[in-house]
Every structure is written in C-alpha cells, then in structure tokens.
Amino acid sequence: MARDMSDKEILKMELDQLKKEVSTPRTPVSANCTETIAFVEGLSPNDQLIKGVSDDKNPYKGDKGGCILT
C-alpha cells in the first residue's frame, strides 16, 4: 500500500494518525492500575489458574495409561 503512495500522502496519513492519538482521552496510570487490580481480584475466586481444577472436572487426572518411547 505504501509503495503506491507519494511521500506527501504518506506524511499526511502519519499526521492524521498523530492527530487522532493526541485527541485520545488519557487517564492517570494510578487510576488504571487501581481499576485493573479491582477487576482481577473480583474474578480471582473463579479463576482456574489460581484456584485450580477440581479432580472430578479434570479430564487429565487419573491413571489412563502412559507414554512409551521406543
């Protein structure tokens, strides 16, 4: 796509992108971190990576055989 565009067109496209980025509303990192921590802590009771999978729901639990390499 950029091969078909002149230098002026590419610069205009970059300028338009920068204008969009400047007008994007910003929030303080501290506020975002607080919200993210609250979100993660709210979901942690049901998070399988933190809580683990119960044995009755784990399809990989148990002695179903092994792998033999020859």
pLDDT at residue 63, rounded to an integer: 64
Domain-wise residue ranges, the chain = 1-69
Which residues have a Cβ under 8 Å from the Cβ of 10 and sit 6 or more positions away?
Answer: 2
Binned at pLDDT 50, 70 and 90, residue 9 comes out as: very high
- Asked if 51 and 45 touch (Cβ cutoff 8 Å), the reply is yes
pTM of the model: 0.43
Instruction: Kindly report the CATH number that applies to the domain delimited by 1-69.
Output: 4.10.260.10
> For the segment 37-62, what is each residue's pLDDT rounded down to a tens digit?
999 999 998 888 888 878 788 777 76
pLDDT band at residue 65 using 50, 70 and 90 as cut-offs: low
Kindly report, residue by residue over 15-27, the tens digit of the pLDDT.
999 999 999 999 8
Greatest Cα-to-Cα distance within the chain, rounded to the nearest angstrom: 67
